[in-house]
Chain A
Amino acid sequence: MTLQLGRPMREIFGETVAELATEDPRIVMLDGDLGSSTRADIFEKAHPDKYLQMGIAEQNMMGVAAGLATMGLIPFISTFVSFAVVRPLDQVRLMIAQTGLNVKITPGYAGLFTGRTGMSHIIVDDISIMRAMPGMVTVSPADDVEARQVLRWAAAYDGPCYVRLVRDATQRLFDDDYQFEFGRAVTVRTGGDVTLISTGAQTPRVVDAAELLAADGIDALVIHLPTLKPLDVEAIVTGAERTGQVITVEEHTIIGGLGGAVAETLSEHRPTRVNRIGLRDLYPESGPNDALLEIYGLSAARVADQVRAILRPT
């Protein structure tokens, strides 16, 4: 049995930030002309006076957000990961991370699900970049339930944060009463043979992979790390101690992202063998979501295959 699809995180984004703006008049939405894609249009309908079109000019958008934050407003950013992280990186670094201003960088289109756009829009290294940036926290929710929680947390958090959201519907992992805790890992499956650690929308696929592995007699502990910075070091160390074998799985490059973070942490705190499943050193191509998960080894079946190969080398 596999986890069922939830609602697209981007719809949750538009709805939740609209709700938040009703509760808190300081909240505004800055859009880089992608509101119909990121679903900032939902926000615009609810709060036309708080919707601020910035045009196709993301560097300026980040600076405007910083200026608004100095005036006591709380800007949320609507664009794609590629245009929130990579293109205006120096603006994010200097005007948001270095100033500590209260800007919410909340782009959609994280990971491979970018509507068949190809490598110009698929950013494979946003976690690596943002978690390395001093002054920036990084959160990658697993599903629509957690995305809503994370956005509510972000509005209340005083400081810059990066929240990566997914365009399309992904599998639902959590019940409605789930409570996100910033900086805390979540054990989503218990097991004693191997510790699988994942983040973002990859975690549900890892839970499915664990069920496939269970049928083969491999009992996996699965840890979800929604917060990639600051890391829940204790949960990672405890997870490693439970099984003595850690495998990270991410819809992201294995260089410097989740796998890098876990390997850094364990080599310092509890040396443990860590294998990393994820994108190798490459730029992905365009295609339907399921096909991309298949060719890049991130579907539940392909993850299970790779875990088996690591645990039982031929």
Chain B
Amino acid sequence: MSHPRSAGVTVGETDRLREVARRIRVEVIRAVNHAQAGHIGGPLSAADILAVLYFHILRIRPEEPAWPDRDRFILSKGHSSIALYAAMALRGYLPVEELLTFDAVHSRLQGHPDMTRLPGLDMSTGSLGMGLSAGMGIALGARLTGRDIRAFVMLGDGECQEGEVWEAAMAAPRYGLDNLIAIIDHNRLQQYGWPGDGPDGRIPPQVPGELAAKWSAFGWRVLEADGHDMATIVNVLEEATRSDGRPVAVIAHTVKGKGVSFMEGHYFWHTRAIKPEEFDQAMAELGEPVPDTEGGPR
């Protein structure tokens, strides 16, 4: 494991990415508030990484979502879909206003990602543990067809309790798939959690160091990052794309609910309807002015 510190990213670029991440968070809160349903904590913990992926790392063409040589991204923790939709909307895959159709009937923005509905989604997900296998298939397919394509897969740390994750972890190194990059959103919370003496009467999905030790033992190159520090995320993901013959696991240390003080670090903000005063406070904390016509349930 290593902590790359190359200063390859400008202050201007990290400022730009921070603004993208802020807007992702705003759109997440706005859409979930509008629907009065949906996940919040996970989308907020993933927002900074999604901003870096969609605005700095991924080789994609929003105007041509099916471009054959694009990098692929799979949100294996599909319950954080609204953050992905927000990142894609800001990047130009869909109108930002469409985010308010999130998980409504006939929407392209299903509660969990459905690749048959929204161009630009590289895999359907939602049943946890499956995305990395599909990412392995993409990375292997790129190899077999001689294309320089990277497959990025974001997993939750709770999701790493699924057995299939470790089947993929076992198999990918056997093919030397260094174009496969798993990003684990290590926010230390899951939906309801294991009873214990931690905050909210719960203990985290893993003990400290457990994820790094496991991925490393399975033959992966392990990188760690502060999942909310733009320069670090950029540097680590750029480092992850440098080949050394092993697939890469980036363990991103994050805070569930990041960006809204009263949502941070609490199990009950995994999924929850937002009250009007909570909406106002969240928007204020995110630096987003709220017009009088907005806010509260529809």
Contact = CB atoms under 8 A, between A and B. Distances in A.
Interface in A54-68: 54-55, 57, 59-68
Interface residues of B, number: 35
Contact of B168 (A50, A60, A68, A75): A60
A48 interface: no
A98 interface: yes
Interface string A15-33: 0000000000000100000
B116 to A, nearest CB: 6
B140 A63 contact: no
A55 B151 CA distance: 21
Contacts of A67: 123, 133-141, 151
B136 A63 contact: yes
**Interface range on chain A (Cβ under 8 Å from partner):** 20 to 34
Interface in B173-189: 174
B116 A63 contact: no
Contact of B140 (A52, A90, A94, A100): A52
Contact of A64 (B114, B122, B126, B171): B171
Given A57-B171, A63-B168, A99-B123, A71 B133 contact: no
A53 B144 CA distance: 14
A110 interface: no
Contacts of A169: none
B170 interface: yes
Interface string A76-102: 000000000000001100110011100
A69 interface: yes
Contacts of B132: 63
Most chain A Cβ neighbours within 10 Å, of B136, B139, B163: B136
A73 interface: yes
B116 A100 contact: yes
- Which of A69, A70, A73 gathers most chain B CB within 10 Å? A70
A63 B135 CA distance: 8
Contact of A63 (B72, B133, B145): B133
A158 B135 CA distance: 21
Interface in B100-159: 114-116, 122-127, 129-142, 144-145, 151
A64 B140 contact: yes
B226 interface: no
B64 interface: no
B167 interface: yes
A55 B124 contact: no
Contacts of B174: 53, 55
A55 B170 contact: yes
A94 B136 contact: no
A83 to B, nearest CB: 12
Given A57-B167, A60-B164, A66-B137, A94 B124 contact: yes
Contacts of A55: 167, 170-171, 174
12 contacts: A53-B174, A60-B133, A60-B136, A60-B171, A63-B164, A63-B168, A67-B136, A68-B138, A72-B145, A98-B124, A99-B115, A100-B116
